[in-house]
Amino acid sequence: MNTELARFNMIEQQIRPWDVLDPLVLGTLSAVPRERFCPLAYQALAFVDTEIPLPPRQHPSQIMLAPRVEARLLQDLQPRPTDEVLEVGTGSGYMAALLGRLTHRVISIEMEPQLAAQARENLAAAGIENVAVREGDGLGGAPDRGPFDIIVLSGSVAQIPQALLAQLKIGGRLATIVGAEPMMRATFVVRTGENHYSTMQPWDTVTARLKGFDEATRFSF
């Protein structure tokens, strides 16, 4: 496979048609080697418009999101070089790597020990030094490192936990995918005041539920 051609085609044929046109985001997608974050058995699918399973796949959430979904989430978050970021659901570390290229510092939380260890290896191999991967339950976030300019939940949730909203700075943005199959919405929340938030749901998609975020009764929105 011609890796650079496949990467170029991914951007031109999948990502641009999804209205991802920000040159910083497109440049980051070109610079971060997505194939190095894919399991060996699935590297041929690294640039395909599909979700990729991650071993040990003990939960449906253990996937890499489709490239166009990752790209659109990034663009709509409008990351800045000074931003402090929290990601919940590290997976392979690819989304954390993209965020790391665009922001100041990233804390990423992963429940599965094997995935957390592999993500650290992937990030180190890609030369990403401003991402710290924590092993644990991301439901409560990382209050010891907050507040954050950006919070990303890399998967879907039934509702957004109040504990995570509370860790946004004023003006901070949270992104995730909210709902249940067959209808989910990309959801962006901006903290506009101490107890005030604005919400946008600009596009539809469907993806696996984040591990630990299954029960709507544990959330408030």
Sequence-ordered list of residues with C-beta below 8 angstroms from that of 106, at least 6 positions apart, any chain: 85, 86, 87, 96, 99, 100, 130, 131, 132
CA 177 to mean position of chain CA atoms: 10
Give the CA distances from residue 82 to residues 1, 90, 170, in Å, rounded to whole numbers and listed in that order: 37, 21, 15
Sequence-ordered list of residues with C-beta below 8 angstroms from that of 197, at least 6 positions apart, any chain: 165, 189, 190, 191
Work out the burial of residue 156: count CB atoms within 10 Å of its CB; fewer than 13 is exposed, 13-18 middle, 19 or more buried.
Answer: buried
Q: Which positions are annotated as active-site residues?
A: 61
